[in-house]
Amino acid sequence: MELPLTKTGIVGLDQLLGGGIPVGWSTILSGEPGAGKTCLSVGFLVQGIKEYNEPGIFCSFNESKKELFLTQLAFGYDLQKYEAEKQFLLLDLSYGRALGDGQLALQQYKLDLPALTKRLKEAIDSINAKRLVIDPLTIISLLFDDIREIRYNMFRFFDVIRRFGVTSLAIAETQGEDVYSVEEFLAAGIIRLYNERSGAKRQRGIEIIKMRGVNHKRGIFPFSITNQGIIVSPDVEMPS
Ligand SMILES: Nc1ncnc2c1ncn2[C@@H]1O[C@H](COP(=O)(O)OP(=O)(O)OP(=O)(O)O)[C@@H](O)[C@H]1O
Ligand SMILES: [Mg+2]
């Protein structure tokens, strides 16, 4: 039996992925600040709506709805329109950014992890969503004090999300190339974005570090952020 795949619809990315992301699984999208995580993940939802008739949910802890609707217009993503058409729904939990603490952020909304998953489920059901983005998932690890608790709760969270039947991209904010977070070990896949400096220049790169059950391309490939979103060049390897 073949593993069903969700096509991201992002130019060049499905070729790197050997088809797409396994349906119903969670993939981590990680990278440093400004790497393009939000742009790529919104592109995943927008392509889902436009090309595959799959509604999507964006759960935002970083940018407010107003900000996100505005910043994503730069890539041609008219989220307000998809919201009006009930193809897109944004859960705006952006208060956390100001506090920098998961506990306080969620308390502000009277949410704990079970309450958050309930909110997500309601949102998914309300528009029959097939795709989900959590930006960033990192905030959930701030809810817990020790690594065992983080691992246990992340595991449970992934398990619950999986039962919702949505294919999800969960964003992880990384602090360096070879540092991996707990969620990256637990997730079925990892897509890493780089913004590498060489002298005075920077080059954007993307790598599929793992994707369980999928024969994906290995290595870092260049991509650019354009006014039509992300464009990956799957046939050119980055110069080493
Ligand atoms: N129209 C555009 N064309 C090309 N590049 C753009 C355009 N608009 C924004 N950018 C680039 O995209 C970057 C934003 O990417 P994005 O917000 O997706 O990064 P991120 O990884 O989510 O960052 P953070 O960690 O801050 O959340 C900007 O920093 C800018 O360099
Ligand atoms: Mg972002």
- For ligand 1, pick from 134, 197, 225 the residue to mutate: most ligand atoms within 8 Å of CB: 225
The per-residue pLDDT for range 21-50, each reduced to its tens digit, is 999 999 999 999 999 999 999 999 999 999
Model's pTM, two decimal places? 0.94
Nearest-angstrom CA–CA distance, 233 and 235: 6
- Report pLDDT for 185: 83
For 238, the token pair is: 């980055």
Q: Whose CA is nearest to atom 23 of ligand 1?
A: 34
Beta strands in 1-142 (DSSP E): 5-6, 21-22, 26-31, 56-60, 88-92, 131-135
CATH code for the part of the protein at 36-173: 3.40.50.300
The per-residue pLDDT for range 130-177, each reduced to its tens digit, is 999 999 998 888 788 888 988 899 899 999 999 999 999 999 988 777
In one-letter notation, the amino acid at residue 85 is: E
Domain boundaries, the chain: 36-173, 188-240
The per-residue pLDDT for range 181-192, each reduced to its tens digit, is 888 888 999 999
CB 55, CB 87: distance < 8 Å: yes
Arithmetic mean of pLDDT over the chain:
91
- For ligand 1, pick from 30, 38, 42 the residue to mutate: most ligand atoms within 8 Å of CB: 38
Angle at 18 between CA 15 and CA 24, to 5 degrees: 115
Angle at 191 between CA 115 and CA 2, to 5 degrees: 90
